[in-house]
Chain A
Amino acid sequence: MRLSRLASRAPAPVFGAIGPGWQVAVERLLARSGLRRALTPRDAGILLVAGDMPGDAAEALGRVHDQLPHPRATLRWTVSHETADAVADRIVASWRDLGAIDEADLLPDQPPNEWKGVGPHGQGGKGMMGGTPYGRPMAMTGEDIRDGLQLDRYTARIGPFAPMLPPGLVLEVTLQGDVIVAATVQHPPFAQPVDADAPELCAARMLTILGLDGPARRAIHGRRPGGIWVRGAVPRGLGGIEGAGDARDRLAAFLGGDRAAVTAPDLSELLPGLEWSEAMLVMASLPPSAILRAARLPEAA
């Protein structure tokens, strides 16, 4: 009983699914005390759906919703006249009373692939990789772009609600190890208002990737973020773009309160060759409007 009282005082862990035009509101909301931004739905109790989700994001939203552990609740924030205070209160109230709300899955309880294979673990089919263990095939090899070794290429579609990517962006990435060997935009990010490019928000996104949650919160609140070795931690020359310096220069500009005017190359050219954390640092160093322009669908490019 004492434990549950203690637990109810915990900041509400929220996974934010951000729709078109709501990035600023949600980023500011989740920097409040009493709420905690979960970076994975596994760590969240509340799914916050902000804005009107386009129909093509519904299935992805369902997937993220179902990945939250029970008990869980979904809150929608779709009318702009509902203040952040009111939403925060709603979230905390739901978090306190989560056991009574709990939601069932949205997607049917069916495995993603049909079970194939011969042995008890699905192994022993045809081909070099021996069938499809547990209903999924294994990754196959391909030549690496850095050292030419033949090792497995892992392909996944990441987004539209990936916390390290801009909301709405669906990237199909092929990884070898942790280096991106190919990236195509499957869905561009949702359009955001101009103030999503505000320097303090851009700085906060980079600080989060640099592992500085406290300074990121302070930056969003408009205070001096603090932190040690902040600019120095961004490698020199990473994400260099003509006329806009490299990622470190852009971080310095954000921290100094300057808006960076960036024209980034197409994401399918910018990202391949980068290791995953470098790529995410580069993405965070670009204002949302620049990423929107750089995220062109393959047929348009």
Chain B
Amino acid sequence: MQTLIILLGWTVLAWLLVRATQPPADATAPQSAPFLGGGTTGTHAWQRYHFRPYTMTLVFIAFEMEMMFMYPWAVVFVSEGIKALAEMGMFLAILSVGILYGWREGVFRWE
């Protein structure tokens, strides 16, 4: 509970600082045009953006899930000893095969 109050407190404080230091934003029409070095564009910048490393994000999710197992593992690591080390070693070895496969398939590049 105290943690939540503190986090909320920082957010409110940061918001107050932003309110206090930021004058209202304004601009005339030529001033507000997106900067293109003097050039122009016909459309909005917001778009169905082609996020190139999209396949990487799938591999990333696998690793993030693995992190969830690692938190409790880290706490009991010393008491479990060599068994815990071997288990995590096997787990990471399997994931490493995944990385190698992904690398071969060109997952870690701009598609």
Contacts and interface: CB of A to CB of B under 8 A. Distances in A.
Given A40-B35, A67-B35, A156-B36, A151 B42 contact: no
A96 interface: no
A160 B37 contact: yes
B40 A112 contact: yes
Contact of B47 (A109, A149, A154): A154
B47 A139 contact: yes
A157 interface: yes
A42 B44 CA distance: 19
Contact of A136 (B35, B42, B49, B111): B42
A61 interface: yes
Chain A interface residue bracket vs B = 35 or more
Contacts of A170: 38-39
Chain B interface residue bracket vs A = 20 to 34
Contact of A157 (B28, B41, B47): B41
Interface string B10-36: 000000000000000000111101011
30 contacts: A17-B38, A62-B30, A63-B30, A63-B38, A64-B35, A67-B33, A105-B31, A106-B30, A133-B44, A134-B44, A136-B43, A136-B44, A137-B42, A137-B43, A138-B43, A139-B43, A139-B47, A139-B48, A144-B50, A151-B49, A152-B50, A154-B45, A155-B41, A156-B41, A157-B36, A157-B41, A158-B37, A159-B37, A163-B37, A177-B49
Interface of B: 28-31, 33, 35-52, 110-111
Please list the 10 inter-chain residue pairs (A to B) with the smallest Cβ-Cβ separation, ordered nearest first.
A162-B37, A60-B38, A177-B50, A152-B47, A156-B41, A157-B39, A66-B30, A107-B30, A151-B50, A139-B47
Given A66-B28, A146-B110, 11 more contacts: A42-B35, A60-B39, A66-B30, A112-B40, A138-B47, A146-B111, A147-B111, A151-B50, A152-B47, A156-B40, A176-B50
Interface of A: 17, 40-42, 57, 60-64, 66-67, 105-112, 133-134, 136-139, 141, 144, 146-147, 149, 151-152, 154-163, 165, 170, 176-179, 275
